[in-house]
């Protein structure tokens, strides 16, 4: 198959969770890709598989979940099949991640400065290991925290620089514990930690959802300037259309475990094609909006027993007879500008049908 994005190309990704009540088919053939330095927003509602997609890219899906099918090409490696050891040279180094609950994501009994230093040293060590051999056993000292005085001064300097970059005063912050930080400060620390290894891809899973709008604006502004400087690609998971619209270049809309529409920001917002995308955009309240909000009838399906065919068909206003029989292919939309990369998974737009 043709390679679509030179940084990340996820194709036909399927993830299931085996639970007592049945198998949750969380991802049902996810397709998305991005080039170096691009910003892709993944939007959708609770339970659509946004976060599972992000975790899969980092191969952080834990029992009872597993990846059953699909490829996750990152540069030249397939992360879906890579060994754990090799994977550790990618995680945190080439791909870093920030989370929705920054205070919960930090170690509560470790000063934030020390946590960042630990991360930096860990990256250096694993990079050095990777150079020696792909399958080398991890050294006895696998990056566990050392006493403060023994720290590599280089790492401490990098940590202080990073804290400065995210707008924190290192003298005040480095000796604080996570519970002493506000949500906004903690997210800045997370960003400092994530970007300290100069990753090629930053995965941000709802980075501002737990924050106030004013702090959200600060964090988005900060992320924007930092990743622009370093040309870092960002995979931004969010349910806030405003955040996606103002931050991203490309958008993937997810519904019940599928990417139903993918394209440039303009393509998705100005010319949405999939009935779900249309519904979602019309449901978003907006300051100064005068028309009535439109809602999508019905509820999100149960992913243990999802509807056959297109998973959106029970709620779709444009349902056709073929919709409940087969899953629509994820195909480019004819007539659109090539740069838009507009793809949609819907029978309404399939050319040969």
Partner 1 sequence: MQATTERENRDILIQANHLRKLFAVKKNFYSHPLYVKAVDDCDFSIRKNTVFGIVGESGSGKTTLGRVILRLIEATGGSVVFDGKNLMSLSSQELRLFRRRMQIISQDPYNSLHPRKVVKKLIGEGLGIHFRLSSQEIDERVKNILTLVGLREEHMYRYPHEFSGGQRQRIAIARALVLKPEFIVLDEPTSALDVSVQAIILKMLKELKRDFALTYMLITHDLAVIDYMADDVAVMYLGQIVELGSKNDIFLRTAHPYACLLIDSVPPPTPSEHWSGKILNGEIPSPIHVPSGCRFHPRCPQAREICKTKEPVLSELQPGHFAKCHFPLNA
Judged by beta carbon, residue 46 or residue 144, the one nearer partner 1 is: 46
End-to-end CA distance of the chain: 23
Residue 206, H or E segment: none
Residue 247 and residue 225: Cα distance in Å, rounded?
A: 11
CB of 211 to partner 1, least distance (A): 9
Strand pairing report for 201-205 and 343-344: unpaired
CB of 14 closer than 8 Å to CB of 219: no
Asked if 193 and 178 count as a contact pair (C-beta separation under 8 A), the reply is no
Residue with smaller CB distance to partner 1, 293 or 304: 293
Q: Which residues pair with 253 in a beta bridge?
A: 43, 261
Least CB distance from residue 335 to partner 1, whole Å? 21
User: Looking at beta carbons only, is 133 or 214 nearer to partner 1?
Assistant: 214
Of 94 and 205, which has the nearer Cβ to partner 1? 205
For the bound state, the minimum distance from the C-beta of residue 125 to partner 1, rounded and expressed in Å, comes to: 36
d(CA 224, CA 226): 6
Nearer to partner 1, 136 or 284 (CB): 284
Widest pairwise Cα distance in the chain: 70
Binding site for partner 1 (CB under 8 A): 45-46, 182, 184-185, 212-218, 220-221, 239-243, 245-247, 265-266, 269-270, 279-289, 292-296, 299-300
Q: In the complex, what is the shortest distance from the CB of residue 247 to partner 1, in angstroms, rounded to a whole number?
A: 8
CB of 83 to partner 1, least distance (A): 38
C-alpha span between 175 and 289 (Å, rounded): 46
């Amino acid at each position: 198959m043709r390679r679509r994005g030179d940084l990340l190309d996820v194709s036909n990704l399927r993830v299931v969770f085996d639970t007592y009540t049945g198998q949750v088919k969380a991802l049902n053939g996810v397709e998305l890709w991005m080039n170096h330095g691009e910003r892709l927003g993944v939007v959708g509602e609770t339970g659509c598989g946004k976060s599972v997609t992000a975790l899969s890219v980092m191969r952080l899906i834990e029992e009872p979940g597993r990846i059953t099918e699909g490829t996750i090409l990152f540069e030249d490696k397939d992360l879906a099949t890579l060994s754990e050891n090799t994977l550790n040279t990618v995680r945190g180094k080439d791909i870093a991640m920030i989370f929705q609950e920054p205070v919960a994501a930090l170690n509560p009994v470790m000063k934030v400065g020390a946590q960042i230093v630990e991360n930096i040293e860990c990256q250096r060590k694993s990079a050095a290991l990777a150079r020696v051999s792909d399958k080398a056993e991890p050294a006895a000292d696998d990056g566990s925290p050392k006493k403060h005085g023994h720290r590599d001064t280089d790492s401490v300097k990098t940590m202080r620089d990073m804290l400065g970059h995210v707008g924190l005063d290192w003298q005040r912050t480095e000796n604080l514990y996570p519970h002493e930080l506000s949500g906004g400060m903690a997210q800045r620390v997370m960003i400092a930690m994530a970007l300290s290894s100069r990753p090629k891809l930053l995965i941000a899973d709802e980075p501002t959802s737990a924050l106030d709008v004013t702090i959200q604006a600060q964090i988005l502004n900060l992320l924007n300037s930092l990743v622009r400087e370093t040309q870092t690609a960002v995979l931004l998971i969010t349910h806030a259309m405003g955040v996606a619209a103002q931050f991203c270049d490309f958008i993937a809309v997810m519904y019940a475990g599928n990417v139903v529409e993918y394209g440039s920001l303009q393509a998705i917002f100005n010319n949405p094609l999939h009935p779900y995308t249309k519904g979602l955009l019309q449901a978003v309240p907006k300051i100064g909006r005068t028309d009535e909000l439109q809602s999508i009838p019905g509820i999100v399906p149960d992913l243990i027993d999802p509807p056959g065919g297109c998973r959106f068909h029970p709620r779709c206003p444009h349902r056709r007879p073929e919709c409940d029989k087969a899953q629509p292919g994820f195909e480019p939309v004819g007539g659109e500008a090539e740069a838009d990369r507009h793809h949609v998974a819907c029978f309404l737009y399939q050319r040969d049908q």
